[in-house]
A = this chain, B = another copy of it.
Amino acid sequence: MKGNIVVGQSGGPTAVINSSVAGVYVAAKKLGVNKVYGMIHGIEGFLEDKLCLLDDYLGSAADVELLKRTPSAFLGSCRYKLPKALGNEATYEKIFQIMEKHDIGGFFYCGGNDSMDTIKMLSDYAAANGKSQLFIGVPKTVDNDLPITDHCPGYGSAAKYIATSMKELIRDNESFGAKKPTVTIVEIMGRHAGWLTAAAALSKGEDCSGPDAIYLPEVTFDLDAFLDKVKNLAATKSSVVIAVSEGISLADGRFVCELGSASDYVDAFGHKQLSGCAVILAGKIAEATGLKTRAIEFSTLQRSATHIASLTDINEAFQVGHDAVVAANEGKTGMMITLDRNGDDPYQCGTSAYDIHAIANVERPLPKEWITEDGCGINDGYIRYARPLIMGELQPLFVNGVPCHLVR
């Protein structure tokens, strides 16, 4: 790897995506890289030559620590989808010109499926056109749906937030119900994969029964069966709390959220914006049972709550950023750093670099064997997998009573 490097962040931010930037920076400095640039708002900003110099912000080890404790995209994110190279050569040439202008030899991109597609297309273009720059993907997604890697940085912290908040909401719901049960429906992110919703099961322990049911996008949603389930639960329990994925859909293919006044907004990657299925289901329950119901959505809180991030996740996010630079330094390109688990208990995990072509645009669903037979629960297979990912805490630096962040 010659010259300087650049790092960018793309897609929905996470609680630990900045820890990956910290890892890129620290590794680069260890390897003697002169300048570490940051893309302002990912490839979208890069195309307009909007860069910053990370050296301006990370002057001390304390700054690096603060960056690791800062949620969301420090550099700014984007949802820009790079067009196919064929017919769009000018866009690609522009990217390489900007890299040459700043003597950038290594390009590191933190993101999920769509961002890995960017790495694939840029590295393919470089290979096809004799460019020497190196492109490495740094995995990041709360959705945990990248293939090959055991899990994705960002997931553990979102899961820890979900498990913690779910437990606190169950406690809150249990406060009432002396005479009549109260029902709370909690909506969790996850367009096609139930990874985040499954994390609600991590709230279960000696002091908490966990959610009473978990509805995942992997299982076809049956409204009548759902209402029967709630009625049966309410007949014996004073507190009913149910986790639902935003992406649950009916047998006819419609999303449950479409049963209400869902928005038709479609984002830049063509994904339909979902929200509101908890509100719809809470309404259906109230109608069918007359019970007091409440709908709660974790919304973007679940991806930005660095104040309760998982230390394992922060460290692994740092590691994949770090090892991306090490991989490029060894001449690798067109690869993503993967997390490779070596054991659950005690948990051990290493990294390697894997061909981006096997990763980009492939979505990994939650394994069916972790879903209980009745389709509305999660079994111990998942718990064994996910528990290590939420372990440990990194106390925020509190200033004036709120966590302090590093900002540009």
Contact = CB atoms under 8 A, between A and B. Distances in A.
Interface of A: 9, 13, 40-41, 44-45, 70-73, 76-79, 160, 163-165, 167-169, 171-176, 178-179, 184, 202-203, 205-208, 261, 263, 265, 276, 279, 283, 286, 292, 294, 296-297, 299-301, 303-308, 310, 387, 390-393, 395, 398-407
Contacts of A407: 207-208
Contact of A163 (B40, B163, B164, B402): B402
A301 B301 contact: yes
Given A171-B72, A405-B207, A296 B307 contact: no
A406 to B, nearest CB: 7
A76 B9 CA distance: 46
Given A76-B175, A203-B402, A296-B299, A164 B307 contact: yes
A407 to B, nearest CB: 5
A398 B387 contact: no
Given A263-B283, A392-B401, 14 more contacts: A13-B172, A41-B178, A72-B174, A163-B401, A164-B307, A167-B402, A168-B403, A169-B301, A172-B304, A203-B402, A265-B292, A276-B279, A310-B401, A391-B401
A167 B400 contact: no
B402 A175 contact: no
Contact of A168 (B71, B165, B184, B207): B71
Contact of A402 (B164, B305, B403): B164
Q: 9 shortest A-B CB distances, which residue pairs?
A: A41-B178, A390-B401, A73-B175, A172-B304, A72-B171, A168-B304, A77-B175, A13-B175, A72-B172
A176 B387 contact: no
A294 B286 contact: no
A222 to B, nearest CB: 24
A179 B40 CA distance: 12
B164 A403 contact: yes
A145 B70 CA distance: 34
Contact of A167 (B41, B265, B308, B405): B405
Interface of A is mostly: mixed
Nearest to A176: B77
Contacts of A79: 176
Contacts of A173: 300
A398 B206 CA distance: 13
A303 B172 contact: yes
B297 A402 contact: no
28 contacts: A9-B175, A13-B175, A70-B171, A72-B172, A76-B178, A163-B401, A163-B402, A164-B402, A165-B301, A165-B305, A167-B405, A168-B304, A168-B306, A169-B300, A171-B405, A172-B304, A173-B300, A202-B400, A202-B401, A205-B399, A205-B402, A207-B406, A276-B279, A308-B308, A387-B400, A390-B401, A391-B400, A391-B401
B393 A398 contact: yes
Nearest to A70: B171
Contacts of A276: 279
A305 B161 CA distance: 11
Contacts of A393: 395, 398
Nearest to A405: B207
A77 B178 CA distance: 8
Contacts of A208: 405, 407
A199 to B, nearest CB: 10
Nearest to A166: B402
A201 B338 CA distance: 41
Contacts of A390: 401-402
A209 to B, nearest CB: 10
A278 B406 CA distance: 29
Nearest to A305: B168
Contact of A160 (B71, B179, B292, B401): B401
B300 A297 contact: no
